[in-house]
Structure 1
Amino acid sequence: MQEHEKGVLYLVVIGAVIGLGKLLVSSEKITGRLALGRAILGGATSTVAGVVLAQFPTIPLPALIGVGSALGILGAQFLEAWLKTRVNQLEQKP
């Protein structure tokens, strides 16, 4: 496996762990569906840090993981809030 492939794999795993960690500290009832959804959402949003590789191909792996972690946390919260708002809007339309 090449270095950039390892980096993307690390980002996915770290994002998934962040999503699960956020679920564990929340007051929501933990269900399998919610855990899987948070893991997928965290993994997907943290891989956006792969864009950093396009700009800075020699960025050290720990720095890439830090950027991915930040995006995994902030991006997932933003997307979740946006999706909830959007679903509520769709439910309210006649």
Structure 2
Amino acid sequence: MDEIEKTLIRLGIFGALIGLAKLLVGDEKITFRLLLGRILLGVALAVSSGTVLIQFENLSELALIGLACTLGISGQTGIEWLLKRGKSKSETE
């Protein structure tokens, strides 16, 4: 396994942990569907932060992991907000 693959796996693990942590600190009832959704969303957002390496090839892994954590937390909150907003609009129509 080369270094890029190892980095993507690390980013995925951090994303999964962020998704799990957000679920555990929330006040929602934990269901398998919610658990799986949060973890998958966290992984997808964290791994997508790896695209920043296209622009900044010499970015350190620590900086990339920090960016992944930031995108994982803020991105997940933003996506959930948009989905809830869209759902409430469709229910009122």
Q: TM-score, normalised by structure 1?
A: 0.91
1:73 aligned residue: 73
Number of corresponding residues: 93
Q: Distance in 1 between matches of 2:82 and 2:45?
A: 14
- Code of the residue aligned with 1:49 in structure 2: it is S
In the other structure, the counterpart of 1:56 is 56
Structure 2 unaligned residues grouped into runs of 5+: none
Q: Partner letter of residue 32 of structure 1?
A: F
CA deviation digits over 1:27-55, x for unaligned, max 9? 11111111111001111111221121101
Correspondence for 2:89: 89
Unaligned stretches of 5+ residues in structure 1: none
Letter in 1 for 2:59: I
Maintained 8 Å contact 1:7/1:64: no
Aligned Cα RMSD in Å? Answer: 1.1
1:27 maps onto 2:27 in alignment = yes
Q: Which amino acid aligns with 1:50?
A: G
Matched position secondary structure for 1:82: helix
Deviation at 1:58, TM superposition (A): 2.0
Aligned amino acid, residue 8 of structure 2: V
- Which residue matches 1:3? 3
